Chains A and B, each alone.
Chain A
Amino acid sequence: MGERILMKGNEAIGEAAIKAGCRYFFGYPITPQNELPEYMSRRLPEVGGVFLQAESEVAAINMVYGAAGAGARVMTSSSSPGISLKMEGISYIAGADLPCVIVNIVRGGPGLGGIQPAQSDYFQATKGGGHGDYHMVVLAPSSIQEAVDLVMEAFDIADQYRVPVMVIGDGMIGQMMEPVEFKEPPKRDLPAKDWITDGCKGRKPNVINSLSLQPEKLEEMNWNRYKRYEKIKENEVKVETINMEDAEIALVAYGTTSRICFSAMETLREEGYKVGLIRPITLWPFPTETISKAADNVKAFLTVEMSTGQMVEDVRLAVNGKVPVHFYGRTGGMVPSPDEIIEQVKALGGGK
């Protein structure tokens, strides 16, 4: 570690997982994330790990479910239509309180959609996706370096809270090349995995399960899990704010669109517009407080997404009517340009 190397996003994510101790990968091909399983199929055997191309995303996530139950650090990756298929397994993994990491390199949808970058899986990632009362921690990097850092931390977050963690990117993050350095994530106190099913030698048998036929019991389990989610909300929110000290218009964007918003903001600042940027890094837990506090100082928000408007709902909840929240979106795999965003901000009066 310590040395900077030029890497493609998908491959850097794979290497970060290996550096974080992931030795098992189960996946199924789908564009635009194929370099990730391909990389794992090359690298995992070199480090004594296992790569397996499953027969489907459904099988892949259930292999993850088994491997996580057996105590392994395990990962899968896919893109939107494949993630839909994985939702069954993710609900079971959440229900059985197992840690794992899932990478979603989002493409345009719904249905087969297209293969270009999109952010239209926000609802699915942050609001459930699968059935039942559960959450995943959702991490949204905006650079390859951040993707690497977040993937390494994702395994620790998963282990600490026994939850599935999704790292969400898009074709840009997956395909782009940037220099990266692999740094150890901040040390965490991780609980012992005394619940795993690896043969009951010297102890009572363990059961990994999400079934609970008594409603009282299931309710109690769900509230207990909810308490864990509350802890995650307290401890794990990550958000970057830029130029917010004197901002009158706050752009809100994550991942690829936050980079575009950053360029737009720089140009606007040069022209004297008081524009800032709030970049959620964790989409769940959402940086509600940061946005709510910003709402006391800015005149308006502009949420920019590659969707018809998904995260904007969380921004509106956080702003809670204090000031207007506007939305600008491109969808279907269209990527907004900085000029489009500049135009939107100017149309709002621009904070000059």
Chain B
Amino acid sequence: MIKVAGRPESLTDKQMHYCPGCTHGIIHRLVAEVMDELGIREKTIGVAPVGCSVLAYEYFNCDMHEAAHGRAPAVATGIKRVLPDKVVFTYQGDGDLASIGTAEIVHAANRGEKITTIFVNNAIYGMTGGQMAPTTLLGQKATTAPYGRDAEKAGYPIRVSEMLSTLTGVAYIARVSVHNPQHIRKAKKAIKKAFETQLEGKGFSLVEVLSTCPTNWGLTPIEALKWLEENMIPYYPLGEFKTPEEVE
């Protein structure tokens, strides 16, 4: 076997359980590379969500704390208040963060908790089998929206980054995507900036990462990347919504 790239130290060598073509794995890797580059592995505590990434605590090679569905920002708050000199991040799906845990993320952000949230938006509930998420696009089919999401009945897909960036306690918010190498590089830069924001004690930071769920979207991995680009990005525009420079 030819070694193309080494595994970041901040990842364990456990084989990930994600479906083929799922971009959760890429996002894990980006977070781990950033932790390596910032040299923070031994002072980081990650908070794992409930969702497909529920086993994130087996993959990140740092102290990890598993949270109840949606409560990761509250758990992270508790950890960070006890350990203000350590780095604390949450890794959360869209069901976790934008549905059951809406209150927790809004208030952690609003308090300016010095934590970093990696928000994986795949527009669906992956783990429980493809039900509608708050981020499911209009017209998009899900097992609980068999005719496609209808705004009249199910409301509109939530733009979390835009919503949270209105809060004063927030220091950094960006939305990125991982559908091609160029965007993956940009995603990593944003994740790094989010962690740096925390290290500099500036306030709450969040990176929303548009991600695929080929399994529940009913698409091949390649089709899924294309679907993300063509359907998600127009509704969920990429970019930085708030930066520490603006705050200062």
Interface residues of chain B, those whose CB is within 8 Å of chain A, are 41-45, 47-48, 54-55, 57-58, 60-68, 71, 74-83, 86, 103-104, 106-107
Tell me which residues across on chain B come within 8 A of A66, comparing CB atoms.
47, 65, 67, 74-80, 82
Q: Is the CB of B77 within 8 A of A89?
A: no
Provided the pairs A201-B43, A210-B66, A211-B54 are in contact, do residues A70 and B74 lie with their beta carbons within 8 angstroms?
no
Tell me which residues across on chain B come within 8 A of A210, comparing CB atoms.
66
Q: Is the CB of A69 within 8 A of B86?
A: no
Instruction: Tell me, rounded to whole Å, the shortest Cβ–Cβ distance linking A217 to chain B.
Output: 14
A308 to B193, CA, bound (A): 58
B63, B66, B83: which contacts A205 (Cβ < 8 A)?
Answer: B63
* Docked complex: A50-102 residues within 8 A CB-CB of B: 50, 52, 54-56, 58-60, 62-72, 74, 88-89, 92, 96
A205 to B35, CA, bound (A): 14
Instruction: Tell me, rounded to whole Å, the shortest Cβ–Cβ distance linking B117 to chain A.
Output: 14
B45, B55, B76, B78: which contacts A64 (Cβ < 8 A)?
Answer: B78
Interface residues of chain A, those whose CB is within 8 Å of chain B, are 24, 26, 50, 52, 54-56, 58-60, 62-72, 74, 88-89, 92, 96, 197-202, 205-211
Q: Is the CB of A200 within 8 A of B82?
A: no
A110 to B73, CA, bound (A): 30
Tell me which residues across on chain B come within 8 A of A72, comparing CB atoms.
82
Q: Is the CB of B66 within 8 A of A211?
A: yes
B64, B67, B82, B104: which contacts A70 (Cβ < 8 A)?
Answer: B82
Q: Is the CB of B77 within 8 A of A63?
A: yes
B58, B63, B103: which contacts A197 (Cβ < 8 A)?
Answer: B63
A55 to B101, CA, bound (A): 12
A50 to B113, CA, bound (A): 13
Q: Is the CB of A63 within 8 A of B75?
A: yes
A-B pairs, 4 with minimum CB distance? A66-B78, A62-B74, A63-B78, A197-B63
Q: Is the CB of B61 within 8 A of A70?
A: no
Q: Which residue of A lies closest to B74 (CB)?
A: A62
B63, B66, B75, B77: which contacts A199 (Cβ < 8 A)?
Answer: B63
Tell me which residues across on chain B come within 8 A of A50, comparing CB atoms.
81-82
Known A-B contacts: A67-B79, A209-B66. Give 15 more (CB < 8 A): A50-B82, A52-B81, A58-B74, A62-B67, A62-B104, A65-B65, A66-B67, A69-B75, A197-B65, A198-B82, A199-B43, A199-B86, A200-B42, A205-B60, A207-B57
Q: Is the CB of A199 within 8 A of B81?
A: no
Give 7 pairs: A residue, B residue, CB < 8 Å, sorted on A: A58-B103, A62-B75, A67-B82, A197-B65, A199-B42, A206-B63, A207-B66
Tell me which residues across on chain B come within 8 A of A68, comparing CB atoms.
78
Q: Is the CB of A59 within 8 A of B82?
A: no
Q: Which residue of B lies closest to A61 (CB)?
A: B74
